[in-house]
Structure 1
Amino acid sequence: MAQPIDFNKSEQYILSIRLSTDGFSFSIYHPQQSEEVYFSSSPVNTQRSMAANVKAYLTETEELKHRFKQVNILIHTSRYTTLSLELYEDEQTDLLFYQNLPPQNNEVVLCNILGKSNLVILFGLDKLTHLFLTEHFPNARLFASVSPITEYLAHKVKPSDCRKLFAIFHPESVEVIAFEKEKLLLLNTYPISGLNDSCYYLLNIWQQAGYNQEDDQLYICGNNRVPQWEELPLRLKKYIRKLFIINPQMEFNDSAMSRIKEISFDMLSLISCE
């Protein structure tokens, strides 16, 4: 059973914050005492900018004012691009990023190196949000939310496996990650507004990638915050035979954190990759 957090020993805990347009959340846990966990989520003010929301969140959330052993910040964004680690050169970060994405004012480009996947994920964050975060947490590690998901799933895929397509659903978007054996074929984020959007993107990707209905596999993960989540697997099973629903509690060995229904798959992936 989960145990309460003792903020008098906050410097023993790891804090992970997740920032998304569909809400902010954070988790706190003790790396040696797995049952000592804390989780909180809150909506964002859609009339404010991301930077204004972040500033208010850091100012008003008492739990975030403590000192922690380690701070991770997950940015849920679609402004990212991937490349092989062998092709990456640090001094060309901005050039590589803007070759694949349109320029945007007042943006800083950040880098996540995925050692197990042999990949680099570059992502953008507006400068003011970045300033607020790094002033409040000078030693924080910043990640695109797709980074821990990709690292976690890549580690699970084996050379002998069939081709696999993973879809991680959120209220307003879906991340699609495709593998052929251990090779990453696709990583992209798509906006969704309902059941039809969700099915369209997945079935179109399945067809364009030449996946086989009999042999290849689709894994989906989401929760009741996702529009029409209960209907989605019923619709997809009409077209894809080997469809599996990822149960985070089973996936992450029934950890205290995985029992929290509201926690996101990317946050659980980050914790498991520590």
Structure 2
Amino acid sequence: MIDFNQPDRYTLSIRLSTDGFSFAIHPDEGGEDVLFRTFHVNPQHSMAANVKEFLAETDTLKHAFRQTNILIHTSRYTPVPFELYEDDQTELLFYQNLPKQNNEIILCNILSKSNIAILFSIDKLTHQLLSDHFPKARFFASISPTIEYLTLRSRKNGNSRAEVFAILHQKSLDLLAFKNQKPVLANSFKASNMNDKCYYLLNLWKQLNLDQQQDVLYVSDGMQQKKQEDFLKRFIKNISFINSQTEPTPYRYPSDIPFDMLSLDLCE
């Protein structure tokens, strides 16, 4: 049970996606249930308009929590090896890889465990609304904690085989590949159905020349596990499913919490 009379004991994490918004609240101490809520968005409205409504209608977000994290689920990101990253070249590096859009700002997450900088964009008005409401908030591309946590996970496993993680979302797919416990690829694709998601996954497997018998695939989503597994095992032998129930978490998470929100806590 969250005690809103003592909000400074809790961390608030907000996730913004075109699929919908959500937030999670957990205490500083482990072993307790995480409060997780979702919020429907109007696809006909802009991200900023949806955020404005979200903030106005959600009384829970008006408390002064100890820490606020904001995850932006986006495919507009680019990884840069940390040794090549310079603060004053953030926009230059970002737009070398992605087309320019109006009214956006470019932010950076430094992933110390992965030795990568993730450059990502956010709509200026959305950023302003959130910064005004949460002056001390930390902003993340949702891929950032996912990479960081899976880097730690891969090292802990000590697997000599390549590992691929497929993080499924309602209308998209994140693919991350590791060799020798180091990230070698991170990419995201728009894909609403499993056929498209499997196409991107198997194409990646072919491009990286991975071994169908030895290398390992992890899938983040527990929905339709049997159907997914039966199809993919025609091509990949070693498949496992990962979610909040399989990972060593300090709190009790609901089974449907997005994997990037889970990763943010696990890599802190």
Tell me if structure 1 keeps the 8 A contact 2:30–2:251. Answer: no
Query: What is the Cα deviation at residue 232 of structure 1?
Result: 1.7
* Letter of the structure 1 residue corresponding to residue 57 of structure 2: E
Structure-2 residue corresponding to 1:53:
50
Structure-1 residue corresponding to 2:20:
23
Describe the superposition over 1:202-221 as per-residue Cα deviations: whole angstroms up to 9, x where unpaired: 11110111001111111111
Structure-1 residue corresponding to 2:227:
231
Is 2:11 the partner of 1:14?
yes
Structure-2 residue corresponding to 1:262:
256
Query: What is the Cα deviation at residue 195 of structure 1?
Result: 2.0
Q: Is there any run of 5+ residues in structure 2 with no aligned partner, and where?
A: none
Structure-1 residue corresponding to 2:70:
73
Q: Is there any run of 5+ residues in structure 1 with no aligned partner, and where?
A: none
Query: What is the Cα deviation at residue 183 of structure 1?
Result: 2.5
Is 2:195 the partner of 1:201?
no
Structure-2 residue corresponding to 1:162:
161
SS at match of 2:136: coil
Structure-2 residue corresponding to 1:178:
177
Query: What is the Cα deviation at residue 254 of structure 1?
Result: 7.5
Describe the superposition over 1:197-247 as per-residue Cα deviations: whole angstroms up to 9, x where unpaired: 0111111110111001111111111143xxx66522211011101111114
Tell me if structure 2 keeps the 8 A contact 1:223–1:229. Answer: yes
Query: What is the Cα deviation at residue 263 of structure 1?
Result: 0.8
SS at match of 1:234: helix
Describe the superposition over 1:44-72 as per-residue Cα deviations: whole angstroms up to 9, x where unpaired: 11111111000110111000001010000
Structure-1 residue corresponding to 2:99:
102
Tell me if structure 2 keeps the 8 A contact 1:249–1:255. Answer: no
Tell me if structure 2 keeps the 8 A contact 1:20–1:77. Answer: yes
* Letter of the structure 1 residue corresponding to residue 133 of structure 2: H
SS at match of 2:7: helix
Query: What is the Cα deviation at residue 147 of structure 1?
Result: 0.3
Tell me if structure 2 keeps the 8 A contact 1:12–1:69. Answer: yes
Aligned mates of 1:23, 1:104 — CA distance in 2? 22
* Letter of the structure 1 residue corresponding to residue 112 of structure 2: G
Tell me if structure 2 keeps the 8 A contact 1:150–1:177. Answer: yes
* Letter of the structure 2 residue corresponding to residue 137 of structure 1: F
The 1:73–1:174 alpha-carbon spacing in structure 2 relative to 1, beyond 3 Å, is same
Aligned mates of 2:123, 2:93 — CA distance in 1? 18
TM-score normalised by the chain length of structure 2: 0.96
Is 2:209 the partner of 1:210?
yes
* Letter of the structure 1 residue corresponding to residue 34 of structure 2: V
Q: Could you list the structure 1 runs, at least 4 aligned residues long, displaced by more than 4 angstroms after superposition.
A: none
Describe the superposition over 1:113-152 as per-residue Cα deviations: whole angstroms up to 9, x where unpaired: 0000000000000100001000000100000000000000
SS at match of 1:124: strand
SS at match of 1:249: coil
Query: What is the Cα deviation at residue 12 of structure 1?
Result: 1.4
Query: What is the Cα deviation at residue 255 of structure 1?
Result: 3.2
Tell me if structure 1 keeps the 8 A contact 2:33–2:251. Answer: no
Tell me if structure 1 keeps the 8 A contact 2:244–2:257. Answer: no
Structure-2 residue corresponding to 1:118:
115
Q: Which of the numbers 61, 64, 77 marks the counterpart of 2:61? A: 64
Structure-1 residue corresponding to 2:267:
273
SS at match of 1:248: coil
Aligned mates of 2:201, 2:37 — CA distance in 1? 31
Is 2:245 the partner of 1:249?
yes
Query: What is the Cα deviation at residue 250 of structure 1?
Result: 2.0
Structure-2 residue corresponding to 1:142:
139
* Letter of the structure 1 residue corresponding to residue 257 of structure 2: I
Aligned mates of 1:203, 1:33 — CA distance in 2? 38
The 1:141–1:253 alpha-carbon spacing in structure 2 relative to 1, beyond 3 Å, is closer
Aligned mates of 2:202, 2:33 — CA distance in 1? 41
